[in-house]
Structure 1
């Protein structure tokens, strides 16, 4: 009898220990979810506005690379990081974009120098970085879609706050960028080709004036890329010019970068040079709350300028030379009248 009592007591003790462990684990889950909710809320209300006012793209992209796994891990315990995830995956992609550009410039220099092996290696490296950028940008787009849903023609999501609108804006731009980077990477990622049409439709849901001309500018850039998506009698270049002016007036020059990207992709040298010159000339009265977006636009413009300079001279844009070109006529030195000196 006594041995049965001991056995029963041991079984009860085991069950109690197991129950206690389960309760403890559940308690940890609650703590983790609370921590995740607090961290995501902090990221939205404090970290992101601070980052948006920053003018260092490299710092922002490294922050995205470092913080994204931590933020996304709280999804496992019930938090919802989709909105913030759209933003951090986008900033993380900027790092891969920069490295892809450096490899492309190395390729151009190698081609110009006749170094075949160096050129081939640089092109392979460029495609690898472009694929990584496309993966991150596609993830940013997919996070946005997971949060707000797929929209049909004439539909718009419920964008309750400026933050929601910002996520919608950035997520859609990332979708287009993922398509372009996947093309540069020979389709390694397999980005769906219908994203361009979806983005063109989605951008109708944002106020063009409020968001620096970017919604209409993005749509016009898509029209240049895929003319079959343009409405009847649409003038993509006219829309890009209007959007660029709005961006200059409001102090966020993202539409100017869209204009330059369109001109570069179409091989329109005259419009390309004009867009770079105009960007460089409109660097005053920038919006301090969105310096990061303007700086990202600047890095896009700088990258295009560096490609042009490297292809033609073997070296990138000179320091302080953004908006100038290698074949510009040198300004003649002022003449001095000897009579003025006497």
Structure 2
């Protein structure tokens, strides 16, 4: 009898320990979810607006790379970081885009100098990093869709705040960028090709004037890529010029970047030069609350300018030379001080 009661006691003790462990784990889950909710709320109300005032794209992209795994891990305990996820995956993608651009410029220099092996190596590196950028941008788009839902023609999500509208805009732009970078990587990610039509439709849900002409600028850029999506009697270039002007007037030059991207993709040299020159000439009275978005526009325009300069001269855009070109540099560039070369 005594042995039996000892066994019963041990059994009850085990059950109590197991039950206590389960309760403790459940308690941890509640704590983790609360922590995640607080972090997400802080990120939305404080961190993101603060980061938007920075003009350092590299800092934003590194922050995205470093903080995204921590932020998104709170999905596992019931928090909802999807909206912030669309933003941080977008900024993280710019790191990969910069490395891909550097590799592309190295490829151009190698081709110009006849270094075949280095050119091939640089092209491989470019494609790999373009795939990383496409994956991050497509993930940003998917998180945006997870947060607001897939919309049919004529439908719009409930965008209750400026934050929701910003996430919707950035997430859709990332969708288009993911398609372009996936093309550069030879389709390594497999971004669905119908994403362009969805983005063109989704941008109708935003007030064009409120968001610096970007919504119609994105739509027009898609029309240039896929003319079959353009409405009857539409003029994509006129829309892009209007988008660029709206950006200059508001101090956030995303429309100018869209214009430059379209001209570059279409091989329209005259419009490309105009886009870059206009961007450089409108660098005053920028909106400090959205400095990061303007800086990302500058990152895009600078990258296109660097490609053009490298293809024609073997070197990137000179320091302070954005808005100038190799064939007019001689009459506008100052004399070179030999001390600057030493």
Measured against the shorter chain, the TM-score band is over 0.9
What's 1:338 paired with? Answer: none
Q: For the aligned residues, what is the CA RMSD?
A: 1.0
Does 2:244 align with 1:248? no
What's 1:307 paired with? Answer: 307
Does 2:177 align with 1:166? no
C-alpha separation in 2, matches of 1:278 and 1:37? 43
What's 1:239 paired with? Answer: 239
Change (3 A) 1:191 1:332: closer
Change (3 A) 1:323 1:31: same
Aligned-partner SS, 1:121:
helix
What's 2:223 paired with? Answer: 223
Q: For each residue in 1:156-181, what CA deviation from the matched residue of structure 2 results, as whole angstroms up to 9, or x when unmatched? A: 00000000000000000000000000
What's 2:338 paired with? Answer: none
Matches within 5 A, 1:136-285: 136-285=136-285
C-alpha separation in 2, matches of 1:151 and 1:228? 20
Matches within 5 A, 1:111-126: 111-126=111-126
C-alpha separation in 2, matches of 1:266 and 1:17? 69
What's 1:31 paired with? Answer: 31
What's 2:134 paired with? Answer: 134
What's 2:62 paired with? Answer: 62
Does 2:292 align with 1:292? yes
Cα shift at 1:332:
8.5
What's 1:78 paired with? Answer: 78
Aligned-partner SS, 1:36:
helix
C-alpha separation in 2, matches of 1:274 and 1:213? 18
Cα shift at 1:329:
6.6
Change (3 A) 1:130 1:30: same
Q: For each residue in 1:113-155, what CA deviation from the matched residue of structure 2 results, as whole angstroms up to 9, or x when unmatched? A: 0000000000000000000000000000000001111100000
C-alpha separation in 2, matches of 1:91 and 1:262? 21
What's 1:2 paired with? Answer: 2
C-alpha separation in 2, matches of 1:224 and 1:148? 27
Change (3 A) 1:301 1:329: closer
C-alpha separation in 2, matches of 1:292 and 1:170? 12
Aligned-partner SS, 1:243:
helix
Q: For each residue in 1:234-263, what CA deviation from the matched residue of structure 2 results, as whole angstroms up to 9, or x when unmatched? A: 000000001110000000000100000000
C-alpha separation in 1, matches of 2:215 and 2:287? 18
Flag structure 1 segments of 5+ consecutive residues without an equivalent.
334-342
User: Structure 1 length as normaliser, TM-score?
Assistant: 0.96
Cα shift at 1:331:
3.5
What's 2:99 paired with? Answer: 99
C-alpha separation in 2, matches of 1:286 and 1:324? 21
Q: For each residue in 1:182-216, what CA deviation from the matched residue of structure 2 results, as whole angstroms up to 9, or x when unmatched? A: 00000000000000000000000000011010000
C-alpha separation in 2, matches of 1:329 and 1:144? 44
What's 1:337 paired with? Answer: none
